[in-house]
Amino acid sequence: MNTTVSHLLGRIGRYVFLSAVLGFFAIPLLWLATAPFDSTPKITTSMPDFALDNFRALLDNPYAVESLLNSVWLAGGTAILVVVFAALAAYALSRVRIPGRDALLYGLLLLSSIVTGTATMVPLFELAFRLNLIDSRLGVILIMSGGLLPAAIFILKDFMDSTPTSYEESARVFGASPLQIVRHIVVPVVRPGLATVAVWAVANVWGNFLVPYLLLRSPDKAPAAVIMYTLYTEGGQADLRLLSTFSLLYSLPVVLMFIFVSTRYGFRFHGGIKR
């Protein structure tokens, strides 16, 4: 009897603890979902009056909606470059036996982890200035792609190593070129890995503030992460009406992308083959 009671109390304690943790993380999300529809949002969570005045006020901001499109361009362009070049590099490193290959790969990954973007911004800014890439979206895309490539290559190489080579050997017998093999055989097999790297790259660029803030001078080119910094009153207080509404719109693309990829691939990977 005592054992049964202890077991029941233990289960109740676990459920209470999990509910408290869930509430701790859910309350900020609940505020984010309700505050944009409240005419006078506050820090505390409350039932909104379901008005759309905040969205109308946000549309009156000349840079808010445009900044979301800028974020799409920067994140999409970076993701495309990272996926394409990382896939080609990972395939070459996986199939070609180069002396010091593993040391080179781990060295690039280590350096990209230790030397952060903040520590390299001065030389990167100087490089962008000499190449006339200041106030250029292309400059931001190239710099962000260069910072993400080492880790992306490292991730995709594991997928490449786990793919069977029998299909590739059969394609070579029929005269397929290396690029044709990569496009028609390797890419369909490692598609879950490419999706993983794409989501990871988009998430990194979407939330990046420092690089576009330093390199982009024109407000009409600034992404959402930078424009969000301007949604404050003249006294320095956050404008909760605009900030909550903009935060909701800012979060939706990444959430929808994650749901789509998770539904399509399930994020259940074993090497390069989905299970």
Would you say residue 271 has pLDDT above 60? Answer: no
- Round to whole Å and give the CA distance between 53 and 40: 10
Percent pLDDT > 90 in the chain is 13
Which tens digits make up the pLDDT trace of 93-115?
Answer: 887 777 777 777 777 777 666 65
Q: Report which residue type is found at 247.
A: S
Question: Across residues 159-173, what is the average pLDDT?
Answer: 80
What pLDDT, on the 0 to 100 scale, is given for residue 150? 86
Helices 64-95 & 191-206 angle (0-180, nearest 10): 140
What pLDDT, on the 0 to 100 scale, is given for residue 76? 93
Domains defined for the chain, CATH in brackets: 2-51 (no CATH), 54-264 (1.10.3720.10)
Under the phi-then-psi rule, with left for phi > 0, alpha for psi from -120 to 50, and beta for the rest, what region is 267?
left
What pLDDT, on the 0 to 100 scale, is given for residue 179? 80
Question: Across residues 12-28, what is the average pLDDT?
Answer: 78
Band of pLDDT at residue 116, cut at 50, 70 and 90: low
Band of pLDDT at residue 235, cut at 50, 70 and 90: low
Rg of the chain over all Cα atoms, to the nearest angstrom:
24
Question: Across residues 116-130, what is the average pLDDT?
Answer: 80
Band of pLDDT at residue 117, cut at 50, 70 and 90: low
Structure tokens at 29: 């999300």
Highest mean pLDDT among 103-117, 207-221, 254-268: 207-221
Which tens digits make up the pLDDT trace of 46-82?
Answer: 666 777 778 888 888 888 888 999 999 999 999 999 9
Give whole-number Cα distances, 190 to 19, 90, 148, 156, in Å: 38, 11, 19, 8
What pLDDT, on the 0 to 100 scale, is given for residue 17? 82
Give whole-number Cα distances, 254 to 26, 71, 147, 161, in Å: 18, 11, 20, 29
Quick check: 151 and 193 in contact, CB under 8 A? no
Give whole-number Cα distances, 229 to 2, 147, 221, 222, 245, in Å: 58, 23, 14, 11, 14
| Residues in contact with 224: Cβ distance below 8 Å, sequence separation at least 6, in sequence order | 64, 67, 68, 70, 71, 206, 246, 250
Q: What is the DSSP letter of 186?
A: I
Question: Across residues 27-54, what is the average pLDDT?
Answer: 74
- What phi and psi, each to the nearest 5 degrees, are found at residue 232? -130, 155
Structure-token match 């001065």, residue found:
122
Band of pLDDT at residue 181, cut at 50, 70 and 90: confident
Measured CA angle at 74 (ends 71, 77), to 5 deg? 140
What pLDDT, on the 0 to 100 scale, is given for residue 270? 42
- Round to whole Å and give the CA distance between 48 and 27: 14
What pLDDT, on the 0 to 100 scale, is given for residue 80? 94
Q: Report which residue type is found at 142.
A: L
Structure-token match 């233990």, residue found:
10
Structure-token match 């350096």, residue found:
111
| Residues in contact with 39: Cβ distance below 8 Å, sequence separation at least 6, in sequence order | 49, 51, 53, 54, 241
